[in-house]
């Protein structure tokens, strides 16, 4: 009663249905994954926005000023004086040290100096 062609066609139909089902299932799974990722991306973006706002809050001049005032004595902070601003060209005009001067002694002198800068160990 069943001819070979019938069997082949039925097999083809079943496999086609199976394939379609598989593809659909897979695409649905992927779509879910995309949705989940999109939600996560949105969450991350929101978090970035929030962190940016947080950062600008933490770097407000008002806050930095307060911190500078608090640690003024501890870190020996002082407001910048106009005299301390110099350009590179101005530095060039400062004459070189005489070559034969005992450089080591000068550094030794500096260490004995009372003013302590950041570069000198206490």
Partner 1 sequence: MRLPGLWKTRRAAAVGAGNSGIVVEGSRKAVGGRGQSRVFMAMAVLFGIYAAIGGRLVQLGLAEDEVVNLPESRPTASRPDLVDRNGEVLATDIKTASLFAEPRRIVDVDEAIEKLLTVLPDLDYEQTYRRLSSEAGFVWLRRQLSPRQQSEILALGVPGLGFRTEKRRFYPGGSTVSHVLGLVDVDNKGIAGIEKYIDNQGLADLQALGLAAPGTLEPVRLSLDLRVQYILHDELTQAMERFDAIAAGGVVLNARTGEVVAMASLPDYDPNNPYNALEKDRLNRMSAGVFEMGSTFKLFTTSMALDSGLVDINDKFDATRPLQLGGFTIRDFYGKKRVLSVPEILIYSSNIGTAKMADVVGIEGHREFLKRIGLLDRMSTELPEVAHPTEPSTWKKINSVTISFGHGVATTPLQTAAAVAAMLNGGKLIPPTFLPRTEEEANAIGERVISQKTSAQVRYLLRLNTEKGSGRRAEVPGYYVGTKTGTAEKVVNGRYSNSTRFNTFIASFPANDPEYIVFVVLDEPKPEKPGMSATSGVTNAPLAGNIIRRAAPLLGVKPDFGHESEALLVSYQ
Interaction site with partner 1 (CB under 8 A):
45-47, 49-50, 52-53, 55-57, 59-62, 65, 79-80, 82-83, 85, 87
- Judged by CB, which is closer to partner 1: 5, or 84? 84
Q: Least distance in Å: CB of 73 to partner 1?
A: 20
Q: Least distance in Å: CB of 61 to partner 1?
A: 4
Q: Give the three-state DSSP class for 26.
A: helix
Greatest Cα pair distance in the chain: 117
- Judged by CB, which is closer to partner 1: 61, or 104? 61
* Lookup: tokens for 6: 């019938």
- Judged by CB, which is closer to partner 1: 56, or 115? 56
Q: Least distance in Å: CB of 52 to partner 1?
A: 6
Q: What is the DSSP string of 31-85?
A: HHHHHHHHHHHHHHHHHHHHHHHHHHHHT-HHHHHHHHHHTTTTTT--PPPGGG-
- Judged by CB, which is closer to partner 1: 5, or 56? 56
Q: Least distance in Å: CB of 34 to partner 1?
A: 18
């Amino acid at each position: 009663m069943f001819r070979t062609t019938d069997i082949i066609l039925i097999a083809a139909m079943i496999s086609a249905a199976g394939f379609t089902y598989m593809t659909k299932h897979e695409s649905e799974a992927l779509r879910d994954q995309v949705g989940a990722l999109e939600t996560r991306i949105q969450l991350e973006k929101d978090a970035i926005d929030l962190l940016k706002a947080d950062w600008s809050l933490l770097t407000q001049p008002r806050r930095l000023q307060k911190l500078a005032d608090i640690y003024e004595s501890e870190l020996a902070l002082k407001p910048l004086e106009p005299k301390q601003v110099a350009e590179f060209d101005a530095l060039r005009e400062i004459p070189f040290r005489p070559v034969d001067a005992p450089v080591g002694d000068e550094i030794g002198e500096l260490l004995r100096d009372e003013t302590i800068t950041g570069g000198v160990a206490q």
